[in-house]
């Protein structure tokens, strides 16, 4: 993955707009967070292969970035995006790595279902 470059990511978001796409969205603080710090409130969310069409999307912020996708009937967004990659299957992989390099959030958009 490369550090996210706003213009590149925006171009990819535009390329995948108005198409039926599969979304992977997750956020996590790790399964051990409350084990190491009992005062820590552990939370996370995960959705893989939600099929949708967004008609408009944007990457905003000064980095880490926020990415929002607007649909006819709703929204998808992720905060904390630091890295991006368009992989060999032309999927847009966005990830947010925390200060120690650990994955904290991922938003991925693909025209074919993720494995």
Nearer residue to other proteins within complex by CB, 7 or 88 = 88
Nearer residue to other proteins within complex by CB, 21 or 95: 95
Contacts of 11 (CB under 8 A, 6+ apart): none
> In degrees, to the nearest 5, what angle opens at C-alpha 49 toward C-alphas 43 and 53?
110
For other proteins, the closer of residues 72 and 100 by Cβ is 100
β 65-71/74-81 pair status: antiparallel
- Looking at the DSSP assignment, which residues form a beta bridge with residue 68? 58, 77
Give the nearest distance from C-beta 30 to other proteins in angstroms: 5
Where on the chain is the footprint of other proteins (CB under 8 A)? 1, 24, 26, 28, 30-32, 35, 38, 46, 83, 85, 87, 91, 93, 95, 97, 100-104, 106, 108, 114-115
12's tokens: 């990819």
């Amino acid at each position: 993955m490369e550090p996210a470059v706003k213009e590149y990511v925006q171009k990819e978001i535009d390329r995948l707009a108005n198409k039926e796409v599969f979304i992977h969205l997750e956020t996590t603080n790790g399964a051990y967070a409350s084990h190491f710090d009992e005062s820590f409130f552990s939370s996370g969310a995960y959705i893989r292969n939600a099929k949708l069409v967004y008609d408009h999307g944007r990457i905003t912020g000064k980095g880490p970035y926020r990415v929002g996708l607007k649909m006819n009937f709703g929204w998808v967004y992720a905060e904390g995006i630091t890295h991006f990659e368009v992989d060999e299957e032309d999927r847009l992989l966005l990830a947010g790595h925390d200060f120690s390099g650990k994955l904290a959030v991922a938003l991925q958009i693909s025209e074919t279902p993720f494995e």
